[in-house]
Chains A and B, each alone.
Chain A
Amino acid sequence: MKARVTVTLKSGILDPQGKAIEGALRSLGVAGVASVRQGKVFDIEIEGDDRAQAEVMLKQAADKLLANTVIENYRVEVVG
């Protein structure tokens, strides 16, 4: 099975990298960008085919390592 964990900064946390990207898009003339927040995507291959178990495992992975929940939120998806 394939899964994806998406980690994003919590709202209210300053994201200087997102701000820099936002500025670069503006200077490239890409119009209509109101704001950019940068995050991370982890594509994970999972052994076995138990979706429920996979979700539990992925949440554990996110809590223990992939995300720092002081500043980040995460979303877990088993994509099949």
Chain B
Amino acid sequence: MKAAVLVFPGINRERDMARTLELMSGTAPAMVWHAETALPGGTDLVVIPGGFSYGDYLRCGAIAARAPIMDAVRGFAAQGGLVLGVCNGFQILCETGLLPGVLMRNQQLKFICRDVYLRVERSNTAFTRGYNAGQVIRVPVAHGEGNYIADGETIARLEGEGRVLFRYCSPDGMIDPNWNHNGAINAIAGILNERGNVLGMMPHPENHVEAALGVTDGRGLFAGLMETLDRAA
């Protein structure tokens, strides 16, 4: 795995992400500053981490989405390269247009920082092959704007094409408004682009990979990504 983690001013989860990528793959990722115009040669995974790029000014992710490095990311994705956006990274991917829709203020207006349960909807994707379809995982969220929404036509397409990969659910995997902590439409926590090589998700799988923290449900995502990259090699 030759991962590149993008770094924007105001991002604060890049070190968590880098630590997890190194722990899981044995190779430290390249940290790529937003003003760069190219990704390091041989990059096979681009990760946009969480945080508060540009202080969430204007709209979450809006300024970062127009940074110079994002042209390189667009080109990388257009060639089929794997792109993962977590939390603010998901917001940035929506603002760039690499993913449809937008992340609005949480329905109950509160910043939410706690563990949530996610149902993995599919395992036959580049990102989720380390999980079983229907599996429930526990991972943390930490966001004020994670309430996913898109127009009805887009939602119908996402659902029809099986592009919703993660949904907020109860501990036993039921989709229930009481467990949809931010009010996202259809309890959507993570979506895939049309081609299947760009994933955006609000929760932080990178924070649940070490046994010392008690839960390692995030490992499946990175293990699955490594398997995908190994198969492609």
**Chain A positions near chain B (C-beta within 8 angstroms):** 13-14, 16-17, 20, 64-66, 68, 70-71
Pair count A-B, CB < 8 A: 35
Say whether chain B's binding surface is mostly helix, strand, loop, or mixed.
loop
Complex CA gap A16/B149 in Å reads 13
Interface extent on B, as a size class? Answer: 20 to 34
* Cβ-neighbour of A16 out of B58, B59, B101, B104 (below 8 A): B104
Complex: chain A residue closest to B63, CB-CB: A65
A interface footprint on B80-110 (CB within 8 Å = 1, 0 otherwise): 0000000000000001000011101111110
B151 contacts chain A at the CB level, 8 A cutoff? yes
State the CA gap A28–B16 with chains docked (Å).
44
Tell whether, in the assembled complex, residue A65 and residue B66 are in contact, meaning their CB atoms are under 8 Å apart. yes
CA distance A24 to B150 in the complex (A): 28
CA A71 – CA B66 in complex, angstroms?
A: 18
Chain B residue contacts of A66, Cβ below 8 A: 58
**Bound Cα distance from A64 to B65, whole angstroms:** 11
* Contact among A14, A20, A65 with B104 in the assembled complex (CB-CB below 8 Å): A14
A68 touches B151 (CB 8 A): no
CB pair A16–B109 under 8 Å, yes or no, is yes
Interchain CA distance A65-B66 in the complex, whole Å:
8
Q: Are B151 and A20 in contact (CB under 8 A)?
A: no
Most buried by B among A66, A70, A71: A70
Report yes or no: A68 in contact with B62, Cβ–Cβ below 8 A.
yes
Q: What is the distance, in angstroms, from B19's C-beta to the closest C-beta of chain A? A: 32
Report the nearest A residue to B106, measured CB to CB.
A16
Chain B residue at minimum C-beta to C-beta distance from A19: B109
